[in-house]
Structure 1
Amino acid sequence: MQAFLQQSHRLYQRLQHWLILSLAVALLTITLNPAVAQSESSAGNPIDGYPVVLDGTELFRVKQGIPGVASAQERANIVNTRLVQIANDESISLETIRVEEEKSGSVVLAGDTVLFTVREVDRDSNESRQATAAKSAQTVQSAVAQYRHDRSAQQLVYGMSFTLISTIALVGFLVLVHWFVSRLLLRIKAAQRTRTLGFRVQNLQLLGSRATGYLLTGLAGLLRLILVLASFYLYIPFVLSQFPATRALGNSLLSGIVKRMNQTIAAFVEYLPNLVIVVLIGVFTRYIIQFVKLVVTELGRDDAYPWFYPEWVQPTNRLATVFLVIVACIVATPYMPGFNSPAFQGIGLFLGALFTLGSSSAVANAIAGIILIYTRAFHIGDIVQIGEIKGEVVEKSLFVTRLLTFRREVITIPNSSVLNSNLINFSAVSRIPGVPKIASRIREDSTKPREHKEYLLLHTTITLGYDVPWRTIHAVLIQAAEATLGVISEPPPFVLQTGLNDFNVSYELQAYTDRPELMPQIYSELHQNLQDHCNQAGIEILSPAYAALRDGNHSTIPAQYLSEDYTPPSFQIHDQNHHS
């Protein structure tokens, strides 16, 4: 029951909206129609005469007045008033409308009422006065007969029947439009959820699924509005034309609709040559794009041209497509409707000024994005460092680059900033075959063939005292690296002595990994293993410097790594003769 009430409430609200909309359309239609704005008696002029009208139908025109009595316009108004009185008086039969000849002219009467007098100056140029009067009387008789017929009970029943049928048809059409648009919106939302609404031109995606869904939803609502307005625009004049009191208004509205349709058709026919040119430009552009795609695809083959990389194929196709489409739009613009209109020119000036003043940074980012594409600085999924930001490349567009940091933060960097910053790519070395390991050349065996698989080289520095043999330190550091997850065994880790400092020696541990995306975890575990293995080997980590009196001080090695019988050495003082 509650669902029924909710549905009824929604239907009532829609009916209210449609009623308000119909009234707005009626007012708009009447206001915009020039035929309704003027009265029937004001359509004449002194040259063409003033019309005599009955029920919206012009019978004839009065061109001459009676000197000293009435002007031509006043005569026409008097005849109009008498005709309406005669037409509404059912006691005056049509047979009593006749012509009687008098000295002043031919008098047209209806019963005992004089309608008008036809004088010599009123006759048509090709007819006699009597013939003109007889013709006018016959015209009046036919008009009065039609006037009374239209207001008969039978015609009123017909008008009400046609109004009822048209109202039912209108409601049915509105319900059908609502059902169709609702089904269309449901399909759009379903396709939007499945992300299948992307708008593409060739391989270039112009709109994503969500944006396309919003656009189609708006267009569906606009289509519904247009159909509802059009239905009311036809319904209201049709209903008005069914009743005598509003027939003139309805007929004028219908004639206005027909006139606008004729103007639209004439304008379309006139525009057809330009439309053919626009279509030819579009077809020609399409075939040029297809040809360019074939050429670019051929350039991107692995064995064709070594200077053109395969990853350039897709961006080159997109750039070429955008460029050719822009050129085609520029060429087709003079053939667009309204090209020479002030509104079109004003819009063009506004867009030009907006692009010139507000798009400098956008153009800089777009140019930087193109440069980054063709310099092959990084790919999607690479681990890079841009300035102080380190992370995985998750998106590379024409304007921005997005990194997913190791802290799971997505950082958006404008391409112009990327181009102007130092960029370190930790993943690029794995894609470059045959590149020698610079740091490992001191350990390279020239008798073995060089492997073509490259890995990322991690390094960390530790400083230890001179009292520990360097060979022992090398072995311990390599063991710590081999025990770290993520460090590969081939090529093996190695150690470089990078400095003989005042208080210690600098040892740089080098280790390879094939998981650059795990660098923070690998470094953390590597440092932990360095502490554990140095402690197990009895090596004190005195970094960067440690000043102490060894005699009498406890060892810095943690207690769990010392022997059970360890005791701190006693403090000793010797004289010059080495006596305690």
Structure 2
Amino acid sequence: MSGLTVILLIVAMPAWGQDAPPDTGDDAAVPTEVETEISNEVDGYPVMLNNKIIFRVREGVGSVATPEERANIIEQRLVNIAETTDLTADDIRLKSGERQTIILAGDTVLLTVSETDAQAYDESTHPELAEMAADIIRTALTEYRNDRSVQGQAVSIIATVVSTIALLIFLRGLFFIASKLLVRIRAQRQAGTLLLHVGSLPLLEAGATAYVLTSLVKFFRIFLVLVALYIYVPFVLSQFPATEVLGDSILQDIASRINGLVQAFVVYLPKLAMVVVIAVIAYYAMKLAQQIIAELGRPGAYPWFYEEWIQPTNRLAMFLIIAIAMVMAGPYLPGFGSPAFQGVSIFIGALLTLGSSSAVSNALAGLILIYTRAFQLGDFIRINETIGNVQDKSLFVTRVLTPKQETVTIPNASVLNSNVVNYSAICRESDGYLLLYTTITLGYDLPWRKVHAVLVEAAKATNHIVSTPEPFVLQTNLNDFNVSYQLNAYTSLPTKMPRIYSELHQNIQDKCNEADIEILSPHFSSLRDGNHSTIPADYLPDDYTSPGFVLQNPSNHSS
């Protein structure tokens, strides 16, 4: 049997035509391998039964009928035969002649296959072609009557009921599994085990990860419900003759789309393999970078690479590796080079160019602050008028917690352009001490050695002031009416500086009062006689009385 004959036996709906009109005036047909709903003189006009194309007619009958008219005539004859209950598929018979073969249903002529039709196929004769056509008609006639029989309708109803039960079971199982997954996600979030990170780089915290997973579960639940309905509805419609065409068209649309997706995926497989290779190389490159950076930051290994640089350098290296990998993988991504992809790229580029200049400057300033080691987390620093502990040091901002428990957020660009005073650096890096200082002014009538001794004693009595190195006093200025004495004392706890200063000032007051020193900045334009002492009463003698106001006449007699 020829290849064409095999195709005709396999395909349920072949196409037929005729090269020349038969002697009987009926229509002959020739087969074709194209099975579509196209209707034209080249592809032929379809002959349908039971809402299905069984073959096509390409040739007319001389000037009697066009191919389209002949197809309609054959179709009407087949419908009449199918609706005639006294004729069965076994009543379809052939009547062969020398140059043509007639296909009949009882005494009714359905169509004629001529020798000219057979000559279109080198390995076929008109009886063989007619026999194949008759078999197709018998099959179509049997299907038409079975679909409309009581037994066929019962089978369709049973199939509909079974498919409905299967759909309900599937939806019940789907919603049950989805609810279990959502409960599990909530439990994992409360336990704090949903942190998502790549190596040492945190990507999402527990709340954000739980939100993403919950959204994915809900999305796939809706997606699977729609897919189930998309399959169920056309299947049910295809079970009944009145809606079979609609159901079949939906099923064919589904099959066409799935086939397109599969073909697109197969075509994309080589590019997907390249994306996977790039991702694997990037992953191992990040692992290698982490190992190298960890070795650089190992204590005592490389003095020029500090331990606090490990984490930011890891993040920077991973960002650069991921960026390079994305640039390399870009040409292999779906839609790369399309107008939509180019439009999105231009929009993002314009957005970054026009709206992120301050963000870029802050990010660069943050990198500079990290690698210049201006301060570390926990250091007690002063930036302009802000004093406090470094609470957070990110790529864009620095947060300082003041002694008043106020969190001040400063952009890194402003930090870089300001003078940063780090009170903790000397204590942290070289086990040194921070030098605190305060200045008081006293009159020239007080012996400076006594003042030095009193101030040093006040410093030693202050908590968190170390005795070695010893406190010392500098006379910083000789003013018009007083002397400026600067007390200098060392501490190893810069973070307690506000309390140390407060206690130091209290001790200076106490020690000066005990030594009978009035903390004044005298101006000799004032009258001193007759004024009560400013020393607290606890430090004055019990018999102390305010001196009288003395007036002296030119003869030097007081009164």
Fold shared, TM-score > 0.5 on shorter chain: yes
2:342 equivalent in structure 1: 345
Verify: 1:567 aligned to 2:523, yes or no. no
Verify: 1:47 aligned to 2:42, yes or no. yes
- Mapped contact 1:383–1:390 kept (Cα < 8 A): yes
Q: Which residue of 60, 67, 71 corresponds with 1:65?
A: 60
1:407 equivalent in structure 2: 404
* 2:549 partner SS: coil
Deviates more, 1:75-84 or 1:351-360: 75-84
2:252 equivalent in structure 1: 255
The code of the aligned residue for 2:536 comes to P
- Mapped contact 2:365–2:416 kept (Cα < 8 A): yes
C-alpha deviation, 1:405, in angstroms:
1.4
Q: Take 1:88 and 1:410, find their aligned partners in 2: how far apart are those partners?
A: 89
Deviates more, 1:382-391 or 1:126-135: 126-135
- Mapped contact 2:439–2:487 kept (Cα < 8 A): yes
C-alpha deviation, 1:120, in angstroms:
7.8
Q: Which residue of 356, 359, 365 corresponds with 2:356?
A: 359
Deviates more, 1:120-129 or 1:255-264: 120-129
**Counterparts of residues 5-20 of structure 1 (less than 5 Å):** none
Q: Take 1:172 and 1:544, find their aligned partners in 2: how far apart are those partners?
A: 98
Verify: 1:164 aligned to 2:161, yes or no. yes
C-alpha deviation, 1:296, in angstroms:
2.5
- Mapped contact 1:64–1:121 kept (Cα < 8 A): no
Deviations 1:364-397 (A, max 9, x none): 1111111111111111111111111111111111
Q: Which residue of 240, 254, 268 corresponds with 1:271?
A: 268
2:378 equivalent in structure 1: 381
**Counterparts of residues 302-381 of structure 1 (less than 5 Å):** 302-381=299-378
Verify: 1:149 aligned to 2:156, yes or no. no
Deviations 1:471-520 (A, max 9, x none): 33233333333333333344333322211111111112222233322222
Verify: 1:199 aligned to 2:177, yes or no. no
* 2:510 partner SS: helix
Report the TM-score, using the length of structure 2 for normalisation.
0.84
Deviations 1:45-68 (A, max 9, x none): 111210111123322212233566
Q: Take 1:65 and 1:151, find their aligned partners in 2: how far apart are those partners?
A: 32
2:286 equivalent in structure 1: 289
Verify: 1:513 aligned to 2:510, yes or no. no
What percentage of residue pairs aligned between the two structures are identical?
53
Deviations 1:214-238 (A, max 9, x none): 3223222222222222222222232
> Cα 1:124–1:271, aligned 2, differ >3 Å: closer, same or farther?
same
The code of the aligned residue for 1:484 comes to T
Q: Which residue of 155, 173, 182 corresponds with 1:185?
A: 182
- Mapped contact 2:113–2:129 kept (Cα < 8 A): yes
> Cα 1:188–1:135, aligned 2, differ >3 Å: closer, same or farther?
closer
Deviations 1:218-273 (A, max 9, x none): 22222222222222222223222333333333333333333333333333332222
- Mapped contact 2:278–2:329 kept (Cα < 8 A): yes
C-alpha deviation, 1:111, in angstroms:
6.0
> Cα 1:511–1:191, aligned 2, differ >3 Å: closer, same or farther?
farther
1:33 equivalent in structure 2: none
1:493 equivalent in structure 2: 471
Q: Take 1:134 and 1:183, find their aligned partners in 2: how far apart are those partners?
A: 61
The code of the aligned residue for 1:139 comes to I
Q: Take 1:82 and 1:543, find their aligned partners in 2: how far apart are those partners?
A: 129
Verify: 1:390 aligned to 2:372, yes or no. no
Verify: 1:238 aligned to 2:235, yes or no. yes
Deviates more, 1:50-59 or 1:155-164: 155-164
> Cα 1:426–1:41, aligned 2, differ >3 Å: closer, same or farther?
closer
- Mapped contact 1:63–1:122 kept (Cα < 8 A): no
Which consecutive residues of structure 1, in runs of 5 or more, have no partner in the other structure? 1-39, 434-452
- Mapped contact 1:124–1:132 kept (Cα < 8 A): no
> Cα 1:499–1:64, aligned 2, differ >3 Å: closer, same or farther?
same
Verify: 1:504 aligned to 2:499, yes or no. no
Which consecutive residues of structure 2, in runs of 5 or more, have no partner in the other structure? 1-34
Q: Take 2:522 and 2:151, find their aligned partners in 1: how far apart are those partners?
A: 114
The code of the aligned residue for 1:498 comes to T
- Mapped contact 2:443–2:522 kept (Cα < 8 A): no
- Mapped contact 1:391–1:406 kept (Cα < 8 A): yes
* 1:432 partner SS: helix
- Mapped contact 1:240–1:246 kept (Cα < 8 A): yes
Q: Take 1:544 and 1:165, find their aligned partners in 2: how far apart are those partners?
A: 108
* 2:390 partner SS: strand
C-alpha deviation, 1:529, in angstroms:
3.0
Q: Which residue of 199, 202, 205 corresponds with 1:208?
A: 205
Q: Take 1:382 and 1:460, find their aligned partners in 2: how far apart are those partners?
A: 22
The code of the aligned residue for 1:71 comes to T
Deviates more, 1:359-368 or 1:233-242: 233-242
The code of the aligned residue for 2:340 comes to A
Verify: 1:422 aligned to 2:419, yes or no. yes
Q: Take 1:498 and 1:290, find their aligned partners in 2: how far apart are those partners?
A: 59
The code of the aligned residue for 1:54 comes to L
Alignment RMSD: 3.1
Q: Take 1:93 and 1:298, find their aligned partners in 2: how far apart are those partners?
A: 89
C-alpha deviation, 1:411, in angstroms:
1.7
* 2:486 partner SS: strand
* 1:351 partner SS: helix
